[in-house]
Amino acid sequence: MERTFVILKPCTVQRGLIGEIINRFEKKGLILAGMKMAWLTDEILSEHYAHLKDKPFFQRVKDSMRTSPVVVCCWEGVEAVEVVRSMTGSTNGRKALPGTIRGDYSMSMQENIVHTSDSLETAAVELKRFFNEAELYTYNPVRWSNLYANDEI
């Protein structure tokens, strides 16, 4: 099973969409392996968005992520990174296809509902950044036998 990382951004928290977004991942069949609410610090945001530090919008991104708490999640499933990325849609909410999370809930490039890991390697780094080992759970949901063929898991 793959694990991937998702941040429900401040715009999601402020708009009261936490349950709707989590519900979509659950309905797809992803397993929630960890979740918590956090108020992100400038330090952790500078580390998380270090790849953007030379971009003119770097500070805007950090400021946006500090307007309210966020909800950080670990989702698990077969090809979880790819599944979550396809469910969320294009980064720019105006260009995201209807039926995707951003396509259904976002009109913005920045206030685009979620951050998702773009690879297994990134997911491992991000999960370690936001969770300690005791906050991530491994269990065998009864419904797995209804989600996958026995040779897929």
Q: Which residues are catalytic?
A: 115
Residue 66, CB-side half-sphere exposure with 13 Å CA sphere: 13
Q: Hey, is 150 helix, strand or coil?
A: coil
Whether 19 contacts 99, CB under 8 Å: no
Token pair 């708009």 is found at 15
Short-list 135, 131, 128, 126, CA closest to 5: 126
Residue 50, CB-side half-sphere exposure with 13 Å CA sphere: 8
Alpha helical stretches, state H, 29-116: 42-48, 58-64, 80-88, 101-105
Short-list 31, 61, 25, 30, CA closest to 46: 61
